[in-house]
A and B are shown apart, each in its own frame.
Chain A
Amino acid sequence: MYDFDYLRPTTVADAVALLAQRSEAKFLAGGQTLLPTLKQRLAQPEAVIDLSRIAALQGIREDGDALVIGAMTLHADVAASALVLRVIPALAALAGEIGDRQVRNRGTLGGSISNNDPAADYPGAVLGLGATIETDRRSIAADDFFTGMFETALDPGEIVTSVRFPVPQRAAYRKFPNPASRYATAGVFVARTVDGVRVAVTGAGATVFRVPAIEDALAADFSPAALTGITVDDDGLNSDIHASAAYRAHLIMVLARRAVAAIS
Chain B
Amino acid sequence: MTNPAGTHPAGANPSGIGASIRRREDQRFLTGRGTYTDDINRPHQVHAFILRSPYAHARIGGFDLTAARAAPGVVAIFTGADLVADKVGSLPCGWQIHSKDGSPMIEPPHPPLVTDRVRHVGDQVALVLAETKAQARDAAELIVVDYQELPAVTGTRDALAPGAPLVHDQAASNLCFDWHLGDPAAVDAAFARAHHVTRIDLINNRLIANAMEPRAAIGEYDRATDDYTLWTTSQNPHVIRLLMGGFVLGIPEHKLRVIAPDVGGGFGSKIFHYAEEALVTWAARKIHRPVKWTADRSESFMSDAHGRDHVTHAELALDANGKFLGLRVNTIANMGAYLSTFAPSVPTYLYATLLAGQYATPAIYAEVRAVFTHTVPVDAYRGAGRPEACYVIERLVENAARELGIDRAELRRRNFIPPSAMPYATPVALEYDCGLFHRDLDEALTLIDYAGFPARKADSARRGKLRGIGFANYIEACGIAPSNIAGALGARAGLYESAEVRFHPTGSVTVFTGSHSHGQGHETTFSQLVSDRFGIPIDKIEIVHGDTSKVPFGMGTYGSRSLAVGGSAIAKAMDKIVAKGRKIAAHMLEAAETDIEFNAGRFSVAGTDRALGIADIALSAYVPHNYPLDELEPGLDEQSFYDPKNFTFPNGCQICELEIDPDTGVTKILAFVAADDFGKVINPMIVEGQVHGGIAQGIGQALMENCVYDSQSGQLLTGSYMDYCMPRADDLPSFQVAYHEEAPCTHNPLGVKGCGEAGTIGGSAAVMNAVVDALADRGITHLDMPATPERVWRALRDAMPAQAAE
Instruction: Spell out A's residues near B (CB within 8 Å).
Output: 1-3, 40-41, 176, 179-181, 241-244, 247, 250-251, 254
Contact = CB atoms under 8 A, between A and B. Distances in A.
Q: Give 3 closest A-B pairs by Cβ, nearest first.
A: A180-B725, A181-B722, A247-B790
A243 B725 contact: no
Contacts of B725: 179-180
Given A180-B724, A247-B789, 8 more contacts: A179-B725, A179-B789, A180-B725, A180-B726, A242-B788, A250-B793, A251-B664, A254-B663
Given A179-B704, A251-B664, A254-B664, A242 B723 contact: yes
Contact of A242 (B137, B138, B726, B790): B790
A2 B790 contact: no
Given A179-B704, A251-B664, A241 B717 contact: yes
A255 B726 CA distance: 24
Interface in B701-736: 704, 708, 717-718, 721-726, 731
Contacts of A247: 789-790, 793-794
B788 A179 contact: yes
Given A176-B664, A251-B664, A243 B790 contact: yes
A212 B73 CA distance: 58
B663 A241 contact: no
Given A179-B704, A247-B790, A2 B138 contact: yes
Interface of B: 134, 137-138, 141, 298, 663-664, 704, 708, 717-718, 721-726, 731, 788-790, 793-794
Contacts of B141: 41
Given A181-B723, A251-B664, A254-B663, A241 B718 contact: yes
- Residue among A40, A179, A242, A247 with most chain B CB within 10 A: A179
21 contacts: A1-B134, A40-B298, A41-B141, A179-B704, A179-B725, A179-B789, A180-B721, A180-B722, A180-B723, A180-B725, A180-B726, A241-B708, A241-B718, A242-B790, A243-B789, A247-B789, A247-B790, A247-B794, A251-B664, A254-B663, A254-B664
Contacts of B663: 254
A244 B794 CA distance: 11
Nearest to A251: B664
Nearest to A243: B790
Nearest to A100: B728
- Residue among B663, B788, B790 with most chain A CB within 10 A: B790
Nearest to A250: B793
Contact of B721 (A40, A181, A242, A244): A181
Contacts of B731: 179
A243 B664 CA distance: 11
Contacts of A241: 708, 717-718, 723
Contacts of A254: 663-664
A180 B724 CA distance: 6
Contacts of A244: 790
Contacts of A242: 723, 788, 790
A247 B663 CA distance: 11
A179 B703 CA distance: 10
Nearest to A257: B663
A37 B132 CA distance: 21
Contacts of A181: 721-723
Contacts of A2: 138
B719 to A, nearest CB: 11
A41 B721 CA distance: 17
Contacts of A1: 134
A218 B708 CA distance: 40
A3 B664 CA distance: 44
Nearest to A253: B663
A250 B790 CA distance: 10
A241 B707 CA distance: 11
Contacts of B298: 40
A242 B723 CA distance: 8
Nearest to B710: A241
Contacts of A40: 298
B181 to A, nearest CB: 35
B299 to A, nearest CB: 12
A202 to B, nearest CB: 17
Nearest to A179: B725
B63 to A, nearest CB: 21
A251 B790 CA distance: 10
A41 B389 CA distance: 42
A201 to B, nearest CB: 16
A251 B661 CA distance: 12
A247 B704 CA distance: 17
Nearest to B797: A250
A180 B725 CA distance: 4
A179 B789 CA distance: 9
Contacts of B726: 180
B3 to A, nearest CB: 36
B139 to A, nearest CB: 12
A247 B790 CA distance: 7
B301 to A, nearest CB: 12
B315 to A, nearest CB: 31
Contacts of A180: 704, 718, 721-726
A247 B666 CA distance: 12
Nearest to A247: B790
B306 to A, nearest CB: 16
A14 B718 CA distance: 42
A170 B789 CA distance: 30
Contacts of B789: 176, 179, 243, 247
A243 B792 CA distance: 12
Nearest to A39: B296
A255 B588 CA distance: 83
- Residue among B134, B726, B789 with most chain A CB within 10 A: B789
A113 B164 CA distance: 46
B137 to A, nearest CB: 8
- Residue among A2, A3, A241 with most chain B CB within 10 A: A241
A176 B793 CA distance: 14
A227 B793 CA distance: 20
- Residue among B298, B726, B793 with most chain A CB within 10 A: B793
A251 B794 CA distance: 12
B207 to A, nearest CB: 14
B771 to A, nearest CB: 15
A1 B138 CA distance: 9
A194 B367 CA distance: 70
A179 B717 CA distance: 15
A251 B663 CA distance: 8
A243 B724 CA distance: 14
- Residue among B298, B723, B731 with most chain A CB within 10 A: B723
Nearest to A186: B664
Contacts of B717: 241
Nearest to A248: B790
A241 B717 CA distance: 8
A179 B726 CA distance: 8
- Residue among A180, A241, A243, A244 with most chain B CB within 10 A: A180
A2 B137 CA distance: 9
- Residue among A3, A41, A250 with most chain B CB within 10 A: A250
A22 to B, nearest CB: 21
Contacts of B793: 247, 250
B768 to A, nearest CB: 17
A40 B721 CA distance: 13
Contacts of A179: 704, 725, 731, 788-789
Contacts of A176: 664, 789
A91 to B, nearest CB: 23
A66 B723 CA distance: 38
Contacts of B704: 179-180
B412 to A, nearest CB: 32
A58 to B, nearest CB: 30
A41 B723 CA distance: 19
A41 B141 CA distance: 10
A131 B298 CA distance: 38
Nearest to B726: A180
A135 B717 CA distance: 38
